[in-house]
Amino acid sequence: MNRRKFLTTSILISIFPTFFIKFADKESQKLKIINGWVLKAQDLD
Amino acid sequence: MIFDLNIKDRESISDLLYDVCIIGAGAAGITIANELGRSGLKVALIEGGSKEFTEESQDIYKGKNTGDPYYPLDVTRLRYLGGSTNHWGGMCRTFEKIDFKRDYLGEEYKWPINYEELSKYIDDACKILEISNDFEYLDSEIKNVKPIKYQYSNVRFKSKYQSHLINSTNISLFINSNLTDIDGDNETVKTIKIQSYTNNFLSIKAKKFVLALGGIENSRYLLWFKKKYSDKYFDTTTPIGKYWMEHPAFTLGRAFVKNSAYVKQYYSLKDEPQKNSKILSCAFRMQGASSSETKQMIKNLICVAPTFGQKIAKLVDKNFVCGIKFRAAWEQSPADMSSVSLTNKTDRFGISQANLTWIKNTLDRKTIKESTKVFNEWFLNDDIGRIQLDNWLVNDLNYPENDELGGQHHMGGTRMSDNSKYGVVDKNCKVFGSKNLYIAGSSIFVTGGHNNPTLPIVQFSLRLSEHIKSLST
């Protein structure tokens, strides 16, 4: 990835955070490692 | 000028006294020859191989591995004009400031020079490798993690410099010329003896000698001369062959990310988390996974987290999420038990073959574990994606044997230091206890960073050239 593409992506993420897919909210940060997957507790709900 | 010792037709050549004799015509040797030749010094450049690959030359690289699983020694490097730049991948990056400030880990990590003394050669080194001097993104706002940039060189030293070396009036290039012996007075090498595959012999006289034989051979030849002549030519109490380093390179697992911008990107940790955890540097590599690998990954996820996995599966189908292979190459700690020594077996010229004992230690395991932990925190906190780590990393098992293993970057063995307890050469790359024997190449690295070694090899070669020129004026 070139610098321009990386910066563009970073800027887009910072300006339009909701545009990007969110896998999980920032709450519930407790980590679970199951079968190698490092997951948030809420991923297991 | 070029002389093929297989066809000995220049008897008078042995009468010449060169200013500098460089043994080894790879990236380091050719760079130094060019620099010194340009300044008007008379240079003999000695290459054991030919202008092209030959089995008889490559066989000289045969050796033994007695440490962690590693490649046979005759396949990780090339022994002909241009050296291993004839097959390198061209990835370029140099040391960072933190690499020269690892004293908090112990005396073994102490460089005798600072970052600035090396960085002043970066522009000229980049010109030689035909790359931009552009390795950093703007300050990363990511906590603890930063994206890093490499430049890619297409330069093969043989292709680029062969004509110049042949046509130079100040450089005499000897091919099929294998170093077999040295001669001189106490602490001073005056002559080297070279031998061809056709059993022609020649002596080369010079005022100064530079060993630029590569990251294993520099140690091997010093050990051989130590065995043969004890301390006649240099201090033999130094750790010759020890503190040998590679860049361990393994697959850590796989992951999916929510944005393809993260694919093919490289990351490392910022300085603070490295210092806080007392670990070394690491470069994470995110490589795109195939569609079948991604599907298998999601299948695994569904087994662990069904609802979340199904959600991700739908996003994968819509190309909103991509799978990646999660890999890393990291800095190995300098440890005296990781070393080059000599075997009882000799090559065709009667010189003992190398025995490589590459050993990764607990700090090397700690570096990758802690670095991965910090990287994972970024992944989760910023919701970049999810990583599935391989079993060996999660459960502290042996390193996988069917992986990349290392970057085929051979460093250390004749490291530079202010202290002969930890190094073999001083800050000017002169062998301790010698008046005129120097070492060039990655064997002088005190630490290895996580960067590919060729760019700093060229930087250090320019630095050594400048030093030798300053002594010759």
Q: Could you write out the DSSP letters of every residue in B210-269?
A: EE---TTHHHHHHHHHHHHHTTSSS-SSS-TTBS-B--EEEEEEEEEES-GGGTT-EEEE
Q: Does the beta-carbon distance from A36 to B264 stay under 8 Å? A: no
CA dist list (Å): A35 to B298, B347, B393, B394 = 13, 49, 12, 9
Q: Does the beta-carbon distance from B308 to A43 stay under 8 Å? A: yes
Distance between terminal CA atoms of chain B? Answer: 24
pLDDT of residue A13: 46
pLDDT per residue as tens, chain B (473 positions):
999 999 976 665 667 899 999 999 999 999 999 999 999 999 999 999 999 999 999 999 999 999 999 999 999 999 999 999 999 999 999 999 999 999 889 999 999 999 999 999 999 999 999 999 999 887 778 889 999 999 999 999 999 999 999 999 999 999 999 999 999 998 999 999 999 999 999 999 999 999 999 999 999 999 999 999 999 999 999 999 999 999 999 999 999 998 888 888 899 999 999 999 999 999 999 999 998 999 999 999 999 999 999 999 988 888 788 899 999 999 999 999 999 999 999 999 999 999 999 999 999 999 999 999 999 999 999 989 999 999 999 999 999 999 999 999 999 999 999 999 999 999 999 999 999 999 999 999 999 999 999 999 999 999 999 999 999 87
The ipTM estimated for the assembled molecules is: 0.83
Residue B407, token pair as written in the block: 């970057």
User: Which amino acid is present at A1?
Assistant: M
- Which residue is it, tokens 């552009």? B134
Q: How many other CB atoms are there within 10 angstroms of residue B392's CB atom?
A: 16
Q: Which of B356, B338, B332, B337 is nearest to B73 (CA)?
A: B356
User: Which amino acid is present at A18?
Assistant: T
For chain B, domain boundaries: 2-131+154-245+334-359+410-472, 248-330+361-394
**In this complex, which of B259, B321, B389 lies closest to A38 when CB atoms are compared?**
B389
Q: Does the beta-carbon distance from A26 to B303 stay under 8 Å? A: no
CA nearest B135 in A: which residue? Answer: A3
**In this complex, which of B261, B307, B321 lies closest to A1 when CB atoms are compared?**
B261
CA nearest B320 in A: which residue? Answer: A21
> How close, in Å, is residue B314 to chain A by CA atoms?
12
Residue B172, token pair as written in the block: 């005499």
The backbone torsions φ and ψ at residue B200, rounded to the nearest 5 degrees and listed phi first, read: -90, 145
User: Cα(B38)–Cα(B468) distance, rounded to whole angstroms?
Assistant: 13
What 3-state class would DSSP assign to B16?
coil
User: Cα(B382)–Cα(A39) distance, rounded to whole angstroms?
Assistant: 13
Residue B343, token pair as written in the block: 């075997």
User: Cα(B188)–Cα(B180) distance, rounded to whole angstroms?
Assistant: 17
User: Which amino acid is present at B19?
Assistant: D
Contact B470, B428 (CB under 8 A): no
CA nearest B258 in A: which residue? Answer: A21
pLDDT of residue B127: 98
User: Cα(B284)–Cα(B140) distance, rounded to whole angstroms?
Assistant: 15
Q: How confident is the model at residue A42 (pLDDT cuts 50, 70, 90)?
A: confident
Q: How confident is the model at residue A24 (pLDDT cuts 50, 70, 90)?
A: very low
pLDDT of residue B103: 86
In terms of Cβ atoms closer than 10 Å to its own Cβ (0-12, 13-18, 19+), residue B388 is buried
Question: Which chain A residues are within 8 Å of B303, Cβ to Cβ?
Answer: 35
Residue A33, token pair as written in the block: 């490692």
Give strand ranges (E) for B113-187: 145-148, 151-152, 171-175, 178-185
How large is the angle between the packed helices B306-317 and B291-304, nearest 10 degrees? 160
Contact B413, B217 (CB under 8 A): no
Contact B22, B32 (CB under 8 A): yes
pLDDT of residue A15: 45
User: Cα(B199)–Cα(B201) distance, rounded to whole angstroms?
Assistant: 6
What 3-state class would DSSP assign to B158?
helix
Q: How many other CB atoms are there within 10 angstroms of residue B270's CB atom?
A: 16
Q: How many CB contacts within 8 angstroms connect chain A with chain B?
A: 80
What 3-state class would DSSP assign to B361?
coil
Contact B74, B57 (CB under 8 A): no
Which residues, in sequence order, are bridge partners of residue B325? B254, B287
Strands B266-269, B145-148: pairing is: antiparallel
Q: How confident is the model at residue A29 (pLDDT cuts 50, 70, 90)?
A: low
**For the structural domain made of B2-131+154-245+334-359+410-472, what CATH number should be given?**
3.50.50.60
Sign of CA dihedral B177, B181, B185, B186: positive
Q: Give pLDDT tens digits for B411-462.
A: 999 999 999 999 999 999 999 999 999 999 999 999 999 999 999 999 999 9
B325-362 burial string, b = 16+ CB within 10 Å, else e? bbbbbbbbbbbeebbbbbeeeebebebbbbbbbbbbee
pLDDT of residue B289: 92
User: Which amino acid is present at B380?
Assistant: L
Question: Going by C-beta distance under 8 Å and a sequence separation of 6 or more, which residues neighbour residue B294?
Answer: B256, B316, B322, B323
Q: Which of B49, B48, B43 is nearest to B21 (CA)?
A: B43
